[in-house]
Structure 1
Amino acid sequence: MNFLFNEEQTSLGETVGQVLADHAALTGPDPSRGSDAEVWAALAELGLFSLLVAEEHGGVGLGLVDLAPTIEALGAGLAPPLIASTLVATEAVNRLGDAEQRAQLLPGIAAGETAIAIASAELGRGNDPVFAECGLHDGRLTGRKIAVAGADVAQMLLVVTRTQSAPVLALVPTDAPGVTIEPHADIDPSAGLCRVTFDNVAVASAQLLGEGSPGALDTLIDLGATAQSGMAMGIAEVMLKRSVAYACEREQFGKPIGSFQAIKHRCADLAVAVEAGKATSHYAFWACSEDAEDRASAASAAKAYCGEIACNACNDAIQIHGGMGFTWELGLHRFLRRAQVIEHAVGSRAWHYERVVAETLAAREVA
């Protein structure tokens, strides 16, 4: 059995990486959002947003696992998080939406005209993706969400909210009456994190995604966690390559610093961690694509483990570069900033590790 990605899947990821590389500001020292619109337009022209959309709605009809190298490229290129959020939301609509919702939303997504930001985190419990005080009662949505990436430029919000009986997912236009969006300060300004307030916003039953499905929220969490793991590994791989390249060219005492045991071992440990993390992430992509029985534990394991690897890789890269690694001009801080955002998106590392334990124990009881 061949577990490697095929030529088309790999080529797609490389192409997206080349498009992102043409926008040097994404990984430059200044963490501004000046090129976000141009990046979105370039990827839309490439057809990125049509890949997960079925042919009947103007798309290509690929599966989630086909996009694993592409999502890693988004992480490596520090693409705006709204891009990955839209891809996750697209797959959520594919799985949870009814025929009318798919017909209404997917053509606009495929054309790159509809960006969807995912609103799940809340103040005080931002690390728990299941928690929601934001409530939907009698067709009215009230509450506040934080850390909503790209909400200020998106056309639609996918909101995790709660009725009196259960959590639900609601699709809310960003220009709906009662919706207020305010960018808020965070460690990575380029992520475009926003605070979204819902003040008695009207939500029709047709705007509920996966209504009546008890696993709708779990599906969104699994898809989001898997995508975040892929982006984390994209960052980790960039840090590995830049660390090894610098260790080979930087000399001390007449020798490349990579020949010294301390640096050599650190690079080797980082290489092993990157390979292990990518294997974990790729399995999560497969599990989500095939809707495997262990989808939840695979997605959570990948999110927690890969997020940890990405942060450690950034710290290692900065230290391998020595004093230069801490300078603003080198730009390594950009990757560390984004890795920190990824680590806390769609649930914290601790929450996902606890979920893995819970899923594992539940599986043993069934067996």
Structure 2
Amino acid sequence: MTLGTNVISTDEQEELRRTVRALLARNPPSRPEPDAEAGYDETIWRLLADQVGAFGLAVPVEHGGAGCTAAETQVVCEELGRTLATLPYLGSAVLATEALLACGATDPLPGLADGSRVGAVAWAENGTWDPAAIRARVRDGRLTGVKEHVLDGARADLLIVPALTPDGDLAVHTVEPSAPGVQVEPLTTLDRTRPQARVTFDGAPARLIGADGHRVLDRLLAVAATALSAEQLGGSARCLEMTLDYVKVREQFGRPIGSFQAVKHRLADLYVLVESARSVSHDAALALAENAPDLGVRAATAQAYCAEAFSAVTAETIQLHGGIGFTWEHEAHLYFKRAHSAARLFGDAAWHRARLASHVLGG
């Protein structure tokens, strides 16, 4: 069952959606075992890279990509959010690619575009993605500091690191993970389908690629919020679909539980949440594709709403599935963990609402 009408729905985008969804249906993502970390879905990774060109959608044609817009990237993020496939897509194909483009550093783009290399943005410090919290520093070409929650950091071939210069300005640098003075520590997180790492720099050699770090990170926050909202939308829609299918076959007192009025009301509320999330997420993608002047407002709105909607939908999914919803064997717990982990990635809903207020009030 498929819900709702897509706001971004050119023929090319809908064909991309059908292609990615069919590929994921033929190659279901692996699921983590209770006592083991999830590995990357290598088969899906290569198929999306080689057959769909998904990793290079946002990369200009002259650098080995497809030259598409954020609307196409949004489609892939949404479909990956439906399945929770473990891929370096958000971290590499979206954030690292955007960071390099914003800095004008195009040399690494062909490798990221064909999926043969992974880029990671080492950004957050002390549990926040607020640029004002950055304390990592570069002096005489050497980087010192600690970065947290680095998506795909343990698999990265290139680290992109915002850090302060000796003058106190924020700039963006690249660092080789294998360079001396770099220590990468994989993290055990709530959502084991999203690998993260802590990266410590101790005098690591760094190359300046972008002097205007505040501009780059402001753009990157909007990109991150928009792409993550697409994942959250996809996960929400899939949870609602699973729940609708379940209440049609689960019986109590001789009738499907979906026929009970109280259950219908709860499902109707979830439908409103999902479709509202669809509207704001797609709107943010359009703003990003058009580089709209109110991009910050629309991206912050999408992230604040979609984060809370996904958490609410997954909680109800578990409740309406009854006893099976609490078991490891059912997928509901994976979506629940993704929802609550993603709700804090790139800042929680309250932080994005504060950014939204700042944009609206001109602060």
Residue 51 of structure 1 deviates from its aligned partner by 1.6
Distance 1:151 1:296 in 2: 27
| Structure 1 residue 34 corresponds to structure 2 residue 36 | no
Unaligned runs of 5+ in 1: none
Distance 1:48 1:77 in 2: 16
Q: Percent identity?
A: 37
Judging changes above 3 Å, is the alpha-carbon distance between structure 1 residues 52 and 72 closer, same or farther for their aligned structure 2 residues? Answer: same
Q: How many residue pairs were aligned?
A: 354
* Contact 1:23/1:35 (8 A) holds in 2: no
Q: 2:9 aligns with which of 5, 8, 17?
A: 5
Write the deviation string for residues 23-80 of structure 1: whole angstroms up to 9, x where unpaired. 4343566574234333322221121112222221222111111222211011111122
Match for residue 52 of structure 1?
A: 58
Match for residue 148 of structure 1?
A: 150
Match for residue 86 of structure 1?
A: 92
Match for residue 157 of structure 1?
A: 159
Match for residue 73 of structure 1?
A: 79
Question: Does the residue aligned with 2:121 lie in a helix, a strand or coil?
Answer: strand
Match for residue 248 of structure 2?
A: 248
Residue 131 of structure 1 deviates from its aligned partner by 1.8
Question: Does the residue aligned with 1:174 lie in a helix, a strand or coil?
Answer: coil
Write the deviation string for residues 173-202 of structure 1: whole angstroms up to 9, x where unpaired. 222221111112211222111111111111
Match for residue 126 of structure 1?
A: 128
Q: 1:97 aligns with which of 71, 88, 103?
A: 103
Unaligned runs of 5+ in 2: 1-5
Match for residue 177 of structure 1?
A: 180
Match for residue 238 of structure 1?
A: 238
Give the counterpart letter for 1:154 in structure 2.
Answer: A
TM-score normalised according to structure 1 size: 0.90
Distance 1:282 1:27 in 2: 28
Give the counterpart letter for 1:76 in structure 2.
Answer: R
Match for residue 325 of structure 1?
A: 325
| Structure 1 residue 43 corresponds to structure 2 residue 48 | yes
* Contact 2:112/2:118 (8 A) holds in 1: yes
Give the counterpart letter for 1:162 in structure 2.
Answer: L
Residue 113 of structure 1 deviates from its aligned partner by 1.5
Distance 1:81 1:318 in 2: 25
Residue 129 of structure 1 deviates from its aligned partner by 5.4
Q: 1:107 aligns with which of 99, 107, 110?
A: 110
Residue 155 of structure 1 deviates from its aligned partner by 0.8
Match for residue 14 of structure 1?
A: 18
Distance 2:73 2:152 in 1: 21
Question: Does the residue aligned with 1:280 lie in a helix, a strand or coil?
Answer: helix
* Contact 1:13/1:71 (8 A) holds in 2: no
Give the counterpart letter for 1:144 in structure 2.
Answer: V
- RMSD of aligned alpha carbons: 2.0
Question: Does the residue aligned with 1:201 lie in a helix, a strand or coil?
Answer: strand
Give the counterpart letter for 1:269 in structure 2.
Answer: D
Give the counterpart letter for 1:93 in structure 2.
Answer: L
Question: Does the residue aligned with 1:170 lie in a helix, a strand or coil?
Answer: strand
Judging changes above 3 Å, is the alpha-carbon distance between structure 1 residues 184 and 143 closer, same or farther for their aligned structure 2 residues? Answer: same
Residue 137 of structure 1 deviates from its aligned partner by 2.5
Question: Does the residue aligned with 1:222 lie in a helix, a strand or coil?
Answer: helix
Judging changes above 3 Å, is the alpha-carbon distance between structure 1 residues 130 and 80 closer, same or farther for their aligned structure 2 residues? Answer: farther
* Contact 1:127/1:348 (8 A) holds in 2: no
* Contact 1:118/1:159 (8 A) holds in 2: yes
Distance 1:4 1:281 in 2: 10
Distance 2:125 2:24 in 1: 31
* Contact 1:28/1:334 (8 A) holds in 2: no
Distance 1:129 1:337 in 2: 27
TM-score normalised according to structure 2 size: 0.91
Match for residue 303 of structure 2?
A: 303
* Contact 1:119/1:158 (8 A) holds in 2: yes
Give the counterpart letter for 1:296 in structure 2.
Answer: G
Write the deviation string for residues 336-366 of structure 1: whole angstroms up to 9, x where unpaired. 1112221111122211110001111118xxx
Give the counterpart letter for 1:338 in structure 2.
Answer: R
Judging changes above 3 Å, is the alpha-carbon distance between structure 1 residues 276 and 106 closer, same or farther for their aligned structure 2 residues? Answer: same
Distance 1:61 1:281 in 2: 21
Distance 2:152 2:42 in 1: 11
Instruction: After TM superposition, list the pairs within 5 Å mapping 1:213-224 onto structure 2.
Output: 214-224=214-224
- Comparing 83-92 with 222-231, which one deviates more in the overlay? 83-92
Instruction: After TM superposition, list the pairs within 5 Å mapping 1:206-355 onto structure 2.
Output: 208-209=209-210, 211-212=211-212, 214-355=214-355
Question: Does the residue aligned with 1:188 lie in a helix, a strand or coil?
Answer: coil
Distance 2:316 2:183 in 1: 40
Judging changes above 3 Å, is the alpha-carbon distance between structure 1 residues 130 and 273 closer, same or farther for their aligned structure 2 residues? Answer: farther
